[in-house]
Chains A and B, each alone.
Chain A
Amino acid sequence: MKRSSLTVFSLTLSFVALVTACNQSTTSETSQKGDGKKLVIGATMLSMQNEFIVNVHDEIAKKAGEAGVELITVDAERSALKQVEQVESFIAQKVDAIIMNPCEVEASSPAVTKALAAKIPIINVNSETSVKPSAFVGSDDVESARIAMKFIADKLGGKGNVVMIHGYMGQAAQIKREQGAREILKQYPNLKLIAHQTGEWDRAKAMSLMENWIQSYGSDINAVFAHNDEMGLGAVKALTDAGLKNKVVVVSIDAIPDGLQAVQKGTLDATVFQNAEQQGAKAIETAVKIANGQPYEKEVLIPFQLVTKANVAQFMK
């Protein structure tokens, strides 16, 4: 008796979950493709737990709705294997185009190969794969770190001690942001990287790390470069608590709403704006163009912008 009631309970639960899950795909009845069939585009996103990715996706969904495209979104949950399987399932569904926000440079590449082999256009958004897709929409991560580190160099007059908080080690964004930062460091021999460590993109982890660094380097630290705003804000919190924020320059990347607010308040000195909306909008635009057989650009690079207190207002919604 007990068991059967539990079974009924769990079945009901899974049913409810299923119904809710099905609600995710965005549909619109308005416009249609030339031959009278509505365009269907599949999108697989790196992780819908990441605010930036959610913003990219929201714009894709919004523009898809406006264009009357049926969008099927799936979350790869940071697993390249899952992502490849999702693309396989898009191919089986015979979608008109695929938008992929790749999990990994190498491991997500088979998805591109498979889509191209099935003659379905595939557009990479935000990050790259080693196999070239039909089109790429995004920004060059190396450039964002160059902008951030250049800001630090200018602020410190090319001289001082810097610490760097890495993203998740080995991920494309982390590798490229480190590369860009080191390129600039090389140009300023008096700018010393005294410590660097991963904060795993996480605010709490970066805060603990910064607290520990403050213990070991104290006021020797002149600047912090964090690979994303979450970690930058963690560093700001630790520095503020230690009463050191006024003496240390903190710069990070992404310009998430919290980051922008901190820049406006003056606690975060600068962030680098990576335009999630533009990336999303251009991705779906390109996908529709290819699916309709219109001319399109193979590579759409959305420029980064440095955000400081002086220009933060124009980035805030």
Chain B
Amino acid sequence: MKNALDTYLKPVRESYNTRVRRLGKVGIVIAFILICLALSLITPRFLTVSNLMIVVTQVSINALLAFGVTFVIITGGIDLSLGSMVAVTGVVAATFAHPDTYPVAVPILAGLASGLLFGAFNGFVITRSKVPPFIVTLGTMTIGRGLALILSKGRPISNLSDSFNFIGGGQLLGVPMPIIILILLFIVCAVILNKTVLGRYMYAVGGNEQAAKASGIRLSTVKMAVYTMSGGLAALAGIVLTSRITTGQPNAGAGFELDAIAAAIIGGTSTSGGTGTMTGTLIGALLIGVISNGLDLLNVSSYYQQVVMGIIIIGAVVLDSVNQPKN
């Protein structure tokens, strides 16, 4: 059994490696550098330390969500409930984050727990039923939004403690906290994907579910894991967002799932599963952030911003398919 598994996983690993090389050769990295270059030529305001700090801080929330959905998409799934999970976890965290009530660990852990639970519920329904993840998470997206409204009674929860607001608004050695959280989680997610058995199983499940099953991988365990992790990362995004705007908003995060999925796809994660990297996703998220920041600096109307973003998403996928070796 072990041997069969190894011989199956080997080609998966290799195609992943060739992919990374290809990624370095063309595609997203070059596009990203070119756009940054162009922006710094057009406006002197772009390439400043303070502006770049702001871009990365703004990107952090989308990037956290994108990391989670990258795991999910690699296994061939999808998670549409991300935005709603941001709202639920943010509201839960805010509920426990009033000053002089609980230590700051309580809102963080409560938010995180609610996200993990929500994600696990997604995984549970997806693995126990034959309903596609698209439908299940479409359902839980609505459920989540409703829960956020129920928990907050439809009103923003404000008056949060300073220590809680530090998570999204504070700085450590001059670096905004969201950036530190982003870097830490990027490392954690990249290690999970590249260095652990679970990571390899994710590629295997997404590459060929039947083959993965035949080689002894427990599909339900892998899927439970990715949806739960996606929930956990959404919770972190929710906590950072809530802390950044210093209120728990039941309508926060609407549409965030689309930005996160876009970041993963721009970063080279294939929606058919089996391929994708954390680095690619991070660059995808940065690219979206840089474009939105750059267009704001240039005072371009948001109507055009949306058009530009759409073109980039399609362009990234076209670029990817052109680079795909023909079989």
Contacts and interface: CB of A to CB of B under 8 A. Distances in A.
Contacts of B48: 215
A195 B301 CA distance: 10
Given A216-B43, A216-B297, A237-B246, A6 B155 contact: no
Contact of A51 (B155, B246, B303): B155
A197 B302 contact: yes
A230 B128 CA distance: 41
B293 A203 contact: no
A241 B177 CA distance: 13
Contacts of A233: 245
A234 B296 contact: no
B252 A169 contact: no
A108 B167 CA distance: 43
Contacts of B252: 202, 204
Given A54-B154, A216-B43, A169 B302 contact: yes
A275 B5 CA distance: 67
Given A3-B129, A203-B249, A212 B244 contact: no
A51 B241 CA distance: 19
A208 to B, nearest CB: 5
A197 B244 contact: no
B288 to A, nearest CB: 12
B244 A211 contact: no
Interface in A255-273: 256-258, 261
Interface in B141-161: 145, 149, 154-156, 158-159
Interface in B295-316: 296-299, 301-303
A195 B154 CA distance: 32
Interface size class of chain B, counting residues whose CB lies under 8 Å from the partner chain: 35 or more
A51 B299 contact: no
A261 B247 CA distance: 13
Given A215-B45, A241-B169, A54 B155 contact: yes
Output the residue of B169, B252, B299 with the most chain A CB within 10 A: B299
B94 to A, nearest CB: 12
A212 B293 contact: yes
A210 to B, nearest CB: 10
A237 B241 CA distance: 13
Interface stretch (B14-22, B50-58, B227-235, B266-274): B50-58
A2 B129 CA distance: 8
A60 interface: no
Contacts of B54: 211-212, 215
A283 B282 CA distance: 51
A48 interface: yes
Output the residue of A208, A237, A258 with the most chain B CB within 10 A: A208
A278 interface: no
Contact of A211 (B58, B145, B156, B241): B58
B215 interface: no
Interface string A178-200: 00000000000000000101100
B251 A49 contact: yes
25 contacts: A3-B129, A6-B125, A6-B129, A49-B145, A49-B250, A49-B251, A51-B154, A54-B154, A54-B155, A169-B302, A197-B299, A203-B247, A204-B241, A208-B58, A211-B57, A211-B58, A212-B296, A215-B51, A215-B293, A215-B297, A216-B43, A230-B156, A237-B244, A258-B156, A261-B158
Interface of B: 43, 45, 48, 50-51, 54, 57-58, 61, 125, 128-129, 145, 149, 154-156, 158-159, 169, 241, 244-247, 249-252, 292-293, 296-299, 301-303
